[in-house]
């Protein structure tokens, strides 16, 4: 992998940022030139329903995304159009890039970032792009301005589209670094009984993640559900979600489930 070459080619491509058709064509040519057979097999194996993809390794996508992220930070007036153009190309790789380039852009430009994210959520069709967009686009904003995200998380988590619901769950991952509030658990309450496997996996994962900063609160939340005669699906979430708690707390929860 020739990092300087990828960086230079990306910078050259960004000269066409305001010419949507030319930029899209150039982006496709760039991606096609880095197709890798192993990456293709991995996408097919671990991301069902990936849809359109080229088969470009993630390390290359990260390099491209960093350059594009630098560009939108400097060219704020061009950011919205460029983000939409990248996303609308439609491939798995383009949407990974769109998500990753928001990581440093979002905290300084939360409104632009969240407006863009909200507009593209209906396009989500797999867990990888869903989680990438949430972790890179929303999580950095949560660290600094959680009050902007929490009402949106509550809205997303009620959506009929399962990928938007999952996005709402993953948007709470930022609480792994900051103090949690009762409102967060109120949102998670809404999906604890969701039967979709992609939602269940997201809920248990996020519970493990936020345990790092909030172990007592997570233990209390899981004990509440363990006492409520939980269904098989909820029991699975509880058992998987408690794995970062202390052995003593896990033992207490398991006793409630017996």
Does position 43 have pLDDT exceeding 90, yes or no?
no
Q: pLDDT grade, residue 42 (50/70/90)? A: confident
Give the integer Cα–Cα distance in Å for 248 and 52: 47
**Worst-scoring range by mean pLDDT, 33-47, 62-76, 124-138?**
33-47
- Which position has the token pair 């899209």? 24
Give the integer Cα–Cα distance in Å for 10 and 198: 34
Q: What is the pLDDT of residue 113?
A: 96
Mean pLDDT of the chain: 93
Please compute the mean of the pLDDT values over residues 234-244 and round it to a whole number: 96
3-state DSSP helix/strand/coil % of the chain, to nearest 5: 75, 0, 25
pTM: predicted TM-score of the whole model, two decimal places: 0.92
Number of Cβ atoms within 10 Å of the Cβ of 52: 11
Please compute the mean of the pLDDT values over residues 214-232 and round it to a whole number: 94
* Residues ≥6 apart with Cβ < 8 Å to 73: 104, 105, 108, 109
- Token readout for 15 is 């000269």
Does position 48 have pLDDT exceeding 80, yes or no?
no
Query: Phi and psi (nearest 5°) for 171?
Result: -65, -15
Give the integer Cα–Cα distance in Å for 217 and 27: 45
- Token readout for 209 is 């993640």
Give the integer Cα–Cα distance in Å for 160 and 156: 9
- Which position has the token pair 């491509």? 13
Measuring CA to CA, how many Å separate 46 from each of 42, 43, 49, 127? 6, 6, 10, 10
Q: What is the pLDDT of residue 39?
A: 76
| Closest by Cα among 218, 204, 228 to 249 | 218
């Amino acid at each position: 992998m020739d990092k300087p070459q990828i960086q230079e080619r990306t910078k050259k491509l960004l000269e066409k940022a305001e010419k949507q058709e030319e930029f899209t064509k150039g982006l496709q040519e760039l991606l096609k030139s880095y197709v890798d057979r192993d990456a293709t097999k991995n996408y097919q194996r671990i991301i069902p329903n990936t849809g359109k993809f080229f088969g470009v390794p993630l390390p290359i996508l990260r390099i491209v995304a960093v350059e594009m992220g630098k560009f939108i930070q400097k060219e704020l007036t061009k950011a919205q159009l460029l983000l939409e153009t990248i996303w609308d190309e439609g491939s798995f790789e383009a949407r990974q890039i769109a998500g990753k380039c928001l990581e440093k852009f979002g905290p300084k430009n939360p409104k632009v970032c969240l407006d863009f994210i909200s507009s593209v959520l209906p396009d989500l069709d797999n867990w990888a792009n869903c989680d990438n967009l949430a972790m890179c686009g929303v999580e950095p904003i949560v660290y600094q301005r959680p009050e902007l995200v929490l009402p949106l998380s509550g809205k997303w988590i009620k959506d009929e589209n399962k990928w938007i619901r999952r996005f709402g769950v993953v948007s709470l991952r930022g609480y792994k670094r900051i103090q949690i509030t009762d409102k967060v658990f109120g949102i998670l309450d809404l999906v604890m009984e969701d039967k979709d496997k992609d939602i269940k996996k997201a809920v248990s994962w996020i519970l493990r993640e936020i345990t790092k900063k909030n172990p007592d609160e997570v233990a209390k939340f899981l004990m509440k559900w363990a006492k409520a005669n939980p269904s098989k699906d909820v029991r699975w979430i509880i058992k998987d979600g408690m794995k970062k708690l202390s052995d003593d707390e896990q033992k207490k929860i398991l006793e409630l489930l017996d």
